Amino acid sequence: MLSVSTTRRARRGMVREWRLHALSVFSLAVAFVCLGAALLVVTNLVALEERWAHSGRASVYLKDRATQHEVDALRAALARVPGVTGVRYVSSGDARVEFGRETEGRSELAGLPIEAFPASIEVDVAPGMPDRDLADAVVKIKQLPSVDDVETYQSWTERLARLVRGGVTASALLAIVVLAAVLAVVGSTMRLVLQRRRAEVEVLKLVGATDGFVKKPFVVEGGVQGALGALGALALLGLLFLVVRGPLDSELAALLGIEPSFLPWQVALGMVLLGGTLGAGAALASLRKLVAV
Amino acid sequence: MAQGEHFEPFRPMLRSGGARFSRDAAKRPILAFEEVYKSYRQGAPVLRGMSLTIERGEFAFITGSSGSGKSTLLRLLYCGETVDDGRILFLGRDVARLRHDAIPFLRRNLGIVFQDFKLVPSWTAYENVAIALEVLGLSRRLVRARVGEALERVGLGGRGEDLAGVFSGGEKQRIAIARAIVGEPALILADEPTGNLDPQLAIDMLGLFEEIHESGATVLFATHDRTLLEARSRRVVVLDEGKAIDVPQGIATDEYETHLPH
């Protein structure tokens, strides 16, 4: 447990060596920005994957020559497929209007001719419908003469899943880099601080301070450095996120169906705790050899 | 610490009231060096089977020429160095056999004053003295009261908030003395405490140590300053060729003249 004396000595040490500590916190913040950015990308990729994995829909694109009778027959047949919860016909004109509405007329694609938007039957699928059943149904639907193509977005979600896995791996690697950075930065700072406060340590040991009593303030300083570094990184990332989010928000929402989100508070808190723990651990490791008196 | 090994802090056998109190130990001297050997280089021992006994409440000078082992003797006592052979019994316990973890508890029973003061210049006088009590875990109120008393005692009352770095040499030594006495230790060790002071200040400082001694503390005062030795007729222990030569009545006689520093 931390005593008043420990926190007071740690605070006094940090105030007196504030330049050194500030430099250390900045270096740690840079390292944590890399980790935070990777986690931010992963967070949004996961949201995107979830959005599309549970979209529960398929688009059946129709051939231009499909007659109204064929379309009605297809709609009726699709509605009878187990797991299908809704069927909606979207004509070429409707598709173009819908696209224009989603892009709010800002996209250059809004000027495309009506032929670029094929008529389709939008099929809502129950979220619990197995992928194999959906694939079987797709194979059968594709064989119908009025059907041009069927899009289930499965390959898209598979690519997303691969991206997420890659992001998680990259984050894990970055976490190792951050760990090494924290150990190096906090360790070096602590050794420097220890050197500058050699007299203090010597006095403490001469008056009967235990090694634990001597080390505690340094460990607290290391922990605070780590936590402040992570906090600084979060603040910087938050600022960048707000700057970038403004112009991209609606575009991404239109194209991907999700709005970009910042790190959840649990992840942010975890980063700060990780920073504090790593900082304290690094300080402790660097203090193994105290001044011998 | 190895698994299962019992950690035992330094607990004096002479303090009454404790579980370790021993009547026999209480009758014994506060400090006894028994056949102590110490060398830093092979073939050049500093202490060669040195034996010395200090009774409770004594004031003794330790003297000898440079390199005779005055500082070594004190360093062995507070475990700043390890003993090669022999025993050093302090308060009934052999400090030469203490485990590393027990050393802080030994030092809490000692007040140590150095020639170079060993103060933290960026701390206030109050903080420099208070740290000796903070390591004991005393309450802030008690620390404040006792540090105030100690600073008053050394003539620095009201200057507790000044940074130690701004004090003069003599005043710094007074802060160091306040730190040494604030915990009311059983034994005060002074290692050339007047070495950096002018002659008049040195005599004043000796007077301060004598006042502390009169209040009941045992004092070991290491010095090579003859004027201090001649100023008082107190017991002098001369270290020569690794052994201790006792001069119980001081250096009024010239019997030990050849061993004394000039």
Question: pLDDT tens for residues B39-58?
Answer: 998 888 899 999 999 999 99
Per-residue model confidence (pLDDT) at position B4: 41
Contact at CB, B107 and A208, closer than 8 angstroms: yes
Which of B165, B184, B203 corresponds to the end of one domain? B184
**Letter for the amino acid at B232?**
R
Q: What tokens does A281 get?
A: 């651990």
Nearest to A218 by CA among A187, A249, A246, A242: A187
* Closest-CA distance of chain B to residue A292, Å: 8
Same domain flag for B176 and B211 = no
User: Scanning every residue of chain A, which has its alpha carbon at the shortest distance from the alpha carbon of B185?
Assistant: A207
Q: What tokens does B200 get?
A: 């008049």
Q: What is the CATH number of the domain that holds B195?
A: 3.40.50.300
Same domain flag for B103 and B2 = yes
> Quick check: A15 contacting B, CB < 8 Å?
no
Q: What tokens does B103 get?
A: 């050393």
Q: Which residues of B46-67 are buried (b: 16+ CB within 10 A; e: fewer)?
A: bbeebebbbebebbbbbbbeee
CA distance B83 to B71: 13
Residue A147 β-bridge partners:
A62
CB neighbour class for A131 (10 Å; exposed up to 12, middle 13-18, buried from 19) = exposed
With respect to residue B258, please indicate whether it lies within any of the assigned structural domains: no
Same domain flag for B103 and B233 = yes
Q: How many CB atoms lie within 10 A of CB B258?
A: 8
A152: Cβ–Cβ under 8 A, 6 or more apart, which residues? A58, A134, A135, A138
CA distance B34 to B242: 13
Partners of residue B132 in chain A, C-beta under 8 Å: 207-208
User: Scanning every residue of chain A, which has its alpha carbon at the shortest distance from the alpha carbon of B107?
Assistant: A208
Which of B184, B214, B237 corresponds to the end of one domain? B184
Q: Which spans in chain B are helix H?
A: 23-27, 70-77, 103-107, 125-134, 140-153, 169-182, 199-214, 226-231
With respect to residue B256, please indicate whether it lies within any of the assigned structural domains: no
- Interface confidence, given as ipTM, is 0.85
Same domain flag for B170 and B63 = no
Contact at CB, B140 and A210, closer than 8 angstroms: no
Mean per-residue pLDDT over chain A, rounded: 83
Same domain flag for B3 and B79 = yes
Q: Which band of pLDDT confidence, cut at 50, 70 and 90, is reported for residue B257?
A: low
CB neighbour class for A176 (10 Å; exposed up to 12, middle 13-18, buried from 19) = exposed
Per-residue model confidence (pLDDT) at position A136: 80
Q: Which of A4, A206, A209 sits opposite B118 (nearest CB)?
A: A206
Same domain flag for B65 and B164 = no
> Quick check: A17 contacting B, CB < 8 Å?
no
Nearest to B213 by CA among B245, B244, B180: B180
Same domain flag for B174 and B132 = yes
B126: Cβ–Cβ under 8 A, 6 or more apart, which residues? B147, B151, B160, B161
Q: Which band of pLDDT confidence, cut at 50, 70 and 90, is reported for residue A93?
A: confident
Q: Which of B105, B118, B119 sits opposite A208 (nearest CB)?
A: B105
Partners of residue A207 in chain B, C-beta under 8 Å: 107-108, 131-132, 135, 179, 183
pLDDT at B226 over 50: yes
> Quick check: A7 contacting B, CB < 8 Å?
no
Q: What are phi and psi of B35, to 5 degrees?
A: 50, 55
* Closest-CA distance of chain A to residue B180, Å: 8
With respect to residue B15, please indicate whether it lies within any of the assigned structural domains: no
Q: How many CB atoms lie within 10 A of CB A139?
A: 10
Same domain flag for B54 and B165 = no
pLDDT at A264 over 50: yes
Contact at CB, A3 and B104, closer than 8 angstroms: no
Contact at CB, A199 and B101, closer than 8 angstroms: no
* Closest-CA distance of chain A to residue B37, Å: 20
With respect to residue B23, please indicate whether it lies within any of the assigned structural domains: no
Contact at CB, B120 and A210, closer than 8 angstroms: no
Same domain flag for B32 and B103 = yes
* Domain encompassing residue B156: 119-184
Partners of residue B110 in chain A, C-beta under 8 Å: 208
pLDDT tens, position by position, B55-75: 999 999 999 988 899 999 999
Q: What tokens does A203 get?
A: 């006095």
Work out the angle at residue B6's Cα, subtended by the Cα atoms of residues B2 and B8, and round it to the nearest 5 degrees: 125
When pLDDT is averaged across residues B149-177 and rounded to a whole number, the result is 93
Contact at CB, A202 and B118, closer than 8 angstroms: yes
CA distance B83 to B48: 11
**What is the count of structural domains for chain B?**
2
Q: Which band of pLDDT confidence, cut at 50, 70 and 90, is reported for residue B2?
A: very low
> Quick check: A208 contacting B, CB < 8 Å?
yes
Same domain flag for B140 and B102 = no
With respect to residue B44, please indicate whether it lies within any of the assigned structural domains: yes
Partners of residue A200 in chain B, C-beta under 8 Å: 120, 123
Per-residue model confidence (pLDDT) at position A7: 86
- Please report, for residues A86, A105, A114, A248, the alpha-carbon distance to residue A254 in angstroms, rounded to integers and kept in the order given: 23, 11, 20, 10
Mean pLDDT is lowest, of A187-201, B42-56, B114-128, for A187-201
Contact at CB, A207 and B107, closer than 8 angstroms: yes
Q: What tokens does A85 get?
A: 């919860």
pLDDT at A55 over 80: no
Return the residue in A207, A288, A289 with the most chain B beta carbons within 10 A, the one to mutate for interface testing.
Answer: A207
CATH pick for A56-152 out of 3.65.10.10, 3.30.70.3040, 3.30.420.40, 3.40.50.11030: 3.30.70.3040
With respect to residue B257, please indicate whether it lies within any of the assigned structural domains: no
With respect to residue B212, please indicate whether it lies within any of the assigned structural domains: yes
pTM (2 d.p.): 0.72
The residue ranges of every structural domain in chain A are 4-51+157-287, 56-152
Which of B164, B184, B204 corresponds to the end of one domain? B184
Query: Cβ distance B48 to B100 under 8 Å?
Result: no
* Closest-CA distance of chain B to residue A286, Å: 20
- Residue A14: strand, helix, or coil: helix
What is the C-alpha R_g of chain B?
A: 19
DSSP code per residue over A28-97? HHHHHHHHHHHHHHHHHHHHHHHHHHT--EEEEEEPTT--HHHHHHHHHHHHHSTTEEEEEEE-HHHHHH
Query: Cβ distance A21 to A14 under 8 Å?
Result: yes
Same domain flag for B231 and B244 = yes
> Quick check: A205 contacting B, CB < 8 Å?
yes
Partners of residue B118 in chain A, C-beta under 8 Å: 199, 202-203, 206
Same domain flag for B98 and B199 = yes
